[in-house]
Structure 1
């Protein structure tokens, strides 16, 4: 076996030591058992406020029983990529359901939302020459992203020259988007933004952005990873904005949030989505979601559609949680979505806060540089539908104490 000295030139050891010293990197805990409202780490129970599968349906006994049956029906693996041996019936049924939900002509599923985003950008900017009768060349595509788009989207577009094929508009600022699109009129432009942003919980002005896209002939791609199955119905917050979502050319959704399972999908025009089978790369050159996962996702989506109170009740509880945070003096980001970001500011303070919670057997997610700007650190909480009142009260009491101690 080669020694680590082989990689000395790459400076990994120095980087890791510095990252550990500055608390950017720490030992990743090993979770024993399921990731739920509590998790077991080294035989000790921790209250988990870091989970993103916040409705908890993946732990429902009926769902677990369904998954087990689906595993026997479809097997545990796809056995290869979609193009090599075909798509599982479980995937096709899920894709057809998403078409009905979104009003789009065709859907393609991926192993994760991240792979969907990477695959979309690659497909929309591909050159592919099969023979003189079958070729495509969209290397002249131009991407315009909201500044706060997810890492996967910025990673996907990083090869494009900024100011020529890549532009960024100020977060949730349609006027700035318009300024950028005016000189790009008539070109192949794709505007990319999110419905709900994961770091601060802000909601996009979906209607305004789509109005501008339509005015200047730009294709629109909405990353709806955080909004999928949560926002949209009239009785829920932000219904006015989400009523515009079907107007987007493409809609991406992740199943890791509301559905609680791994996987993602893109819905859009029939021929474009069909072409993605070849052009995305993240479909052609890797396997899809496990078939029982796809089938169970279908089941959970159907459950959320037929039992809307599951989400309605959750959103009411999340709103009350936000109110209680305000009552103890926390500074919250302005959008009252279920993603609750508590502003701390100091990078060093937020690391101390995370450590203090850990010592009291709580796991909380903190965002500090480089995830956010320096000294713009936050504690990002997504309340779980099954957190008990006792767990929530103890969390708020500890947070109030730390707020006084660290003055944030």
Structure 2
């Protein structure tokens, strides 16, 4: 017992030495641009509440109404007695919102991908995965037992090479719609064209695109104007939608298969109906108000203009996710601490969440942010850059070149 605990203690110490140790911070009050973190008021650019709906009065009222009608818990799996009329209404509404025949609600996005992929493919089949995909796609692919191959980020030519030589009975391409740490958008039209050409499926994890991209926030498929029975679309409901959970939408036959065979759906207690009530309110807001997406796009442009002269690279992104790559783990932590000392919280993201050598500040913009708050962040980052700017060569400590960053990613 002591040897086992000594090993774990040593591994924890190693994480600290490598500047990879993670620390939770206690947040008080509702999510929003202004949070109380560890007891201190803070301007936050840290959460995924991209439309500022997590504390919206309409969602709170709908959840309260659902609580009165359905109580607190679902108390059973959906296939026993946990599938409420409210969840049924939500699935119908979600399918209609993203323009697909049918949708299936999951407790969260991780569980959705962990259930969908093994239900579609297994030993003898092929899964092709973008190198920067979220962990839940990677874990779902490994769990399936299918042959798992990783292609370079957004490299459509490499995907076609793999598909062209494949003799697998089932082939599945899996990709984020919007990549969670870079903020760029997957080449979905090109990937779907390859699926059509080589008889494959495409699973799009649109956790960071749903609610943000496309007309009225209908997602990355709508952003490109795509529709196909070959696509399974996964959207999460705890980010731009402001509540919790996830859904998978697609061809009605495929969705029925998931009802029967997605283990993370079959063998888990259903989500509380009051969450479905709140999400129905979200969809009404998305369908009737699009000013939030417009304001968010304006904030993205403001940030890019304001940080253009920094010595660190702000990755190109038209989404709410803005990554300021600094390279060094310790520098990312120091910058986070400097900003926090000024009352601004931007999380430092380090390996293994991002590739080695690409540690960064992940700036999350929200439609709830004001232009003045974004200006405050811009000013603080310029002050931090001046602090770390050193030497006549015009480079900041531990700053990596754009070429090295691209090579690492």
TM-score by length of 1: 0.88
Report what 1:133 is aligned to: none
CA contact (8 A) 1:185 1:216 kept: no
- What RMSD in Å do the two structures reach over aligned CA positions? 2.4
Alignment of 1:133-282 (within 5 A): 138-159=122-143, 165-185=147-167, 187-233=169-215, 242-244=224-226, 248-282=230-264
Superposed CA deviations along residues 84-142 of structure 1, whole A, max 9, x for unmatched, are 214111111111012112332221111111111111112123xxxxxxxxxxxx54332
Report what 2:403 is aligned to: none
Deviation at 1:35, TM superposition (A): 2.4
Report what 2:324 is aligned to: 342
1:35 equivalent in alignment to 2:31? yes
Deviation at 1:30, TM superposition (A): 1.4
Deviation at 1:317, TM superposition (A): 2.3
Superposed CA deviations along residues 152-193 of structure 1, whole A, max 9, x for unmatched, are 1111222567xx711122211111110000111562111111
TM-aligned CA distance change 1:88 to 1:237, over 3 Å: closer
Report what 1:102 is aligned to: 98
CA contact (8 A) 1:347 1:374 kept: no
Report what 1:130 is aligned to: none
1:68 equivalent in alignment to 2:64? yes
Report what 2:393 is aligned to: none
Superposed CA deviations along residues 189-213 of structure 1, whole A, max 9, x for unmatched, are 1111121111111111111110011
Aligned partner (choices 12, 23, 37) of residue 8 of structure 2: 12
1:112 equivalent in alignment to 2:108? yes
TM-aligned CA distance change 1:382 to 1:41, over 3 Å: closer
1:299 equivalent in alignment to 2:281? yes
TM-aligned CA distance change 1:70 to 1:234, over 3 Å: closer
TM-aligned CA distance change 1:235 to 1:229, over 3 Å: closer
Secondary structure of residue in 2 paired with 1:244: coil
* In structure 2, distance between residues paired with 1:105 and 1:28: 40
Report what 1:128 is aligned to: none
Give the number of equivalent residue pairs: 390
TM-aligned CA distance change 1:303 to 1:241, over 3 Å: closer
TM-aligned CA distance change 1:218 to 1:246, over 3 Å: closer
Secondary structure of residue in 2 paired with 1:34: coil
Structure 1: which 5+ residue stretches go unaligned?
A: 126-137
Deviation at 1:51, TM superposition (A): 0.7
TM-aligned CA distance change 1:21 to 1:355, over 3 Å: farther
Aligned partner (choices 34, 39, 45) of residue 41 of structure 2: 45
Structure 2: which 5+ residue stretches go unaligned?
A: 389-395, 400-409
